[in-house]
């Protein structure tokens, strides 16, 4: 089995249960509060590990109590966590979620932004040509590009959060995963047209996630649209991270991209039926069950 190297952010999530999301300038009172580990890099590394991949996860964190809590939590997960300690506060996200599962997120990412090019390159170079390097948009553009350029491995890039122009990165990517809002901003197109456009911009394969409408997959063999499993969504916060992590694990196991995406969709559907982000991530037992169901 190939290895999955994840370079991304790790922080704490402060989740607020809201009757509805506030309008600009409006103050609302939350009816529920929860605090848990989070960050797109962390969530994706955890789900990849729980899905059976051998995962090496590196993330910049502070030297504070939040960093100590993250280390303790990740020591219980099936992955190797390599903390990159910086003189910045550990990242923090505030997530507001409605009873219908809609959410909005604000993130402070000083530690993620503080990861330098040299550290990104050093980590990325460790991947072998058959391994996968999974990246997101939380780090700086310079560090992300440096990792992509330096790695001998194959690159999966999740464009969320879309913080800076990504066009120059696409030629380094074997698989790009983006949602419909992100792809519209990147390409000015929607749906299959956006996927094709991203391929012409250099990405080898493109996945556009469409929420309950499914996903678009574009490869060298053509385009297809996959329906999403039908579930009642409670909280959509961690769905994209679950899909990315499970997909990376499936590719490392040798599955085709289509098979990996179907597994990722199934796991993401499980995630949205639960509240929270880290707390909603499927367990290893969940993922084993979902994988077995897909193989039937």
Query: Residue 61's pLDDT is what?
Result: 98
State yes or no: 79 annotated in a binding site. Answer: no
Residue 19 assigned to a binding site: no
Residue 198 annotated as part of some ligand binding site: no
Q: Which residue is catalytic, options 116, 174, 241, 286?
A: 241
Q: Is 235 annotated as a binding residue?
A: yes
- Provide the whole-model pTM: 0.92
CA–CA gap between residue 98 and residue 206 (Å, rounded): 30
Mean pLDDT within 233-261: 94
Of the candidates 180, 204, 210, which has an alpha carbon nearest to the alpha carbon of residue 194? 180
189-193 long-range contacts (CB < 8 A, ≥24 apart) are 191/216, 192/216, 192/218, 192/223, 192/225
235 confidence band (pLDDT: 50, 70, 90): confident
Domains of the chain plus CATH, in order, are 3-10+40-89+113-295 (3.40.1190.20)
Chain centroid to Cα 196, Å, comes to 22
Q: Which tokens hold the place of 72?
A: 């303790």
Give the pLDDT mean for 148-155: 98
Residue 62 known to bind ligand = no
pLDDT digits (tens, 9 = 90+) for 1-37: 899 999 999 999 888 999 999 999 999 999 999 889 9
241 is annotated as an active-site residue: yes
- The dihedrals phi and psi of 145, each to the nearest 5 degrees, come to -65, -40
Structure tokens at 272: 């949205």
Question: How confident is the model at residue 107, as a pLDDT?
Answer: 81
pLDDT of 85 reads 97
């Amino acid at each position: 089995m190939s290895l999955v190297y994840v370079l991304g952010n790790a922080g704490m999530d402060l989740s607020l249960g809201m009757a509805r999301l506030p309008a600009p300038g409006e103050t609302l009172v939350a009816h529920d509060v929860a605090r848990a580990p989070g960050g797109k890099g962390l969530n994706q590394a955890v789900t990849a590990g729980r899905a059976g991949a051998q995962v090496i996860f590196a993330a910049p964190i502070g030297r504070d109590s939040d960093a100590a809590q993250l280390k303790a939590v990740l020591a219980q997960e099936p992955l190797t966590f390599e903390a990159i300690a910086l003189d910045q506060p550990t990242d923090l996200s505030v997530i507001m979620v409605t009873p219908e599962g809609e959410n909005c997120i604000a993130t402070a990412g000083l530690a993620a932004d503080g990861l330098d090019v040299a550290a990104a390159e050093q980590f990325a170079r460790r991947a072998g040509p058959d391994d996968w390097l999974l990246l997101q948009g939380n780090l700086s553009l310079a560090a992300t590009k440096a990792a992509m350029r330096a790695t001998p491995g194959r690159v999966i890039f999740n464009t969320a959060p879309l913080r800076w122009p990504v066009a120059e990165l696409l030629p380094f990517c074997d698989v790009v995963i983006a949602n419909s809002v992100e792809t519209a901003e990147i390409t000015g197109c929607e749906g299959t047209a956006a996927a094709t456009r991203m391929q012409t911009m250099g990405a080898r394969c493109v996945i556009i996630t469409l929420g309950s409408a499914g996903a678009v997959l574009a490869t060298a063999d053509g385009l297809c649209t996959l329906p999403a499993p039908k579930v009642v969504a409670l909280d959509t916060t961690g769905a994209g991270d679950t899909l990315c992590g499970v997909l990376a694990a499936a590719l490392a196991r040798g599955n085709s991209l289509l098979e990996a995406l179907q597994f990722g969709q199934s796991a993401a559907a499980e995630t949205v039926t639960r509240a929270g982000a880290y707390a909603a991530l499927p367990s290893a037992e969940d993922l084993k069950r979902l994988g077995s169901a897909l193989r039937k």
